[in-house]
Structure 1
Amino acid sequence: MTMGQDVYTVDLMKPLVFQVGHLGHAYQEWVHQPISAKHTPRFFQSDFLEFFTRTPWWVVPLVWLPVVAWNGMLSIQRGSSLQKAATLMVVGVLVWTLLEYTLHRFLFHIKTASYWGNTLHYLLHGCHHKHPMDGYRLVFPPAGTAILALPFWVLVRLLFPYEAVPAAFGGGLFGYVMYDVTHYYLHHGNAINDYTRKLKKYHLNHHFKSQKDSFGITSSLWDWVFGTLPGNKQK
């Protein structure tokens, strides 16, 4: 990082995380100017910290699908019928789609300007907008997912009876797995039909045309509900 008169420039050849905070108000413009090369930049000088920032896509289903299955079986053991447990998991998936939209729109795209605000935003989501084709920073590391899942677990416990909690939570977790796998596919997979072609175009619009719309990843449902479809003047 170099410093001029009130102007900061990030050195892309050096670890990035502790540089971006110095951009101040210029961070928002910088982070939304994507570098489309399939390059994995270095985040930290420490090899230990750097290891935890890189996650291959297949780690997500490998780690979390067994947890989804275990939660479904736990609801049945607590007294839910198979049909009820399956229905609760579908409800959990639907709740996740709303959470997916809400997190993406209001947390991942929060405006920051302070040193630590910029730094945390870059780690959470800004890095993905700066390097959208980085295949190792497209899905959440399991440790990060576990932290973000805690408030969702608390919410489910408040909304559902004892026997229903695991299935509803498992459904939400399954929705998350589908989200992360779909997200990776939209960046690195080849469209195989009209639906996947449209979904891919829809998401890449968010990266390369307008970051103020197209917040849904697995579906455009909530963009339609809340008026954030591409070209909608009400967003």
Structure 2
Amino acid sequence: MVDQAFKVDLSKPLVFQVGHLGEAYEQWVHQPIVTRETPRFFENDFMEFLTRTAWWVIPLVWLPIVSWFVSLSVNLGLPPNHVAATVFAGVLLWTLLEYSLHRFLFHMKTKSYWGNTIHYLLHGCHHKHPMDGLRLVFPPAAAAILAVPLWNTIKILTPALYAPALFGGGLLGYVMYDCTHYYLHHGKPLKGVSHELKRNHMDHHFRIQDKGFGITSNFWDRVFGTLPPKSAKKNS
């Protein structure tokens, strides 16, 4: 049952409040508050710290790890042209993973207390506060948790020579994704591919949340028919 009388108090830590919205959570989380303010998530200062990440932390943390994984394939004897092709394949693999996570996990429908709470932490907070610059990129600790099963899966499915380079390419794609995502919200591209990506992403946030799941590319939106309709684009 939904407590129709429940209201989220924006002056208090938010994470453990939103679960009480029940079925009303879906509507609430897609009514954005467009300010650059960073709301408080947790009462605990350490937990709060873990939820805030500046965009430049992403390349600083992950690019050395990308280089290390790629170097593993090089040291194992993978030829340079194969290294380059495998890294590129990893980037392409990331774009499909990016699209799939965004569409099927980050936009799952929830109404239970813990479902709403987890969804808010994963992605709902971004739709509620789309200009919060400290919660636009994924905290490294959380990204590492997701990276471990991906690496284990790649090791199982890919020959040992290629696996590190493929995973390194996937991580490179992730870095490109998070930095692009930040730019789409805070940059001001006037034309070209970046302008098109920003327009589609702003449509996703403010007009039609069940379309436009690609961030670094619109390719998979075109393949799966989830590109924002032209009528939305004309009004953006």
TM-score range, shorter chain: over 0.9
Mapping of residues 128-207 of structure 1, within 5 Å: 128-207=126-205
Residues paired across the two proteins, number: 229
| Structure 1: stretches of 5+ with no match in the other structure | none
Counterpart position of 1:224: 222
Cα deviation for residue 5 of structure 1 reads 6.2
Q: Any unmatched runs of 5+ in structure 2?
A: 231-236
2:123 is matched with 125
Task: Give yes or no for the alignment of 1:50 onto 2:37.
Answer: no
Q: How many angstroms does 1:193 deviate by? A: 3.2
Query: Which runs of 4 or more aligned residues in structure 1 lie more than 3 Å from their structure 2 counterparts after TM superposition?
Result: none
SS in 1 for 2:161: helix
Offset at residue 192 of structure 1 (A): 4.8
Give the TM-score taking structure 2 as reference length: 0.94
Give the alignment's TM-score, normalised by structure 1: 0.95
CA contact (8 A) 2:32 2:129 kept: yes
Shift of 1:6: 3.5
* Cα distance per residue 1:188-224 (max 9 Å; x no partner): 0121532221111111000000101000001110000
User: Would the alpha carbon gap of residues 127 and 76 (structure 1) be closer, same or farther in structure 2, given more than 3 Å must change?
Assistant: same
- Report the Cα offset of residue 9 of structure 1: 0.4
Structure 2 matches for 1:67-78, cutoff 5 A?
A: 67-78=65-76
Post-superposition CA distance 1:40-97 (Å, at most 9, x none)? 0000011111000000000000000001111111101112011111110000000000
**Counterpart-to-counterpart distance in 2, 1:70 and 1:48:** 30
Match for residue 100 of structure 1 among 86, 95, 98:
98
1:204 is paired with a residue of what secondary structure? Answer: helix
1-side partners of 2:28 and 2:179: how far apart?
27
Does 2:96 correspond to 1:88?
no
C-alpha RMSD of the superposition: 1.3
Matched-pair identity in %: 63
Q: CA deviation at 1:160?
A: 1.1
SS in 1 for 2:20: helix
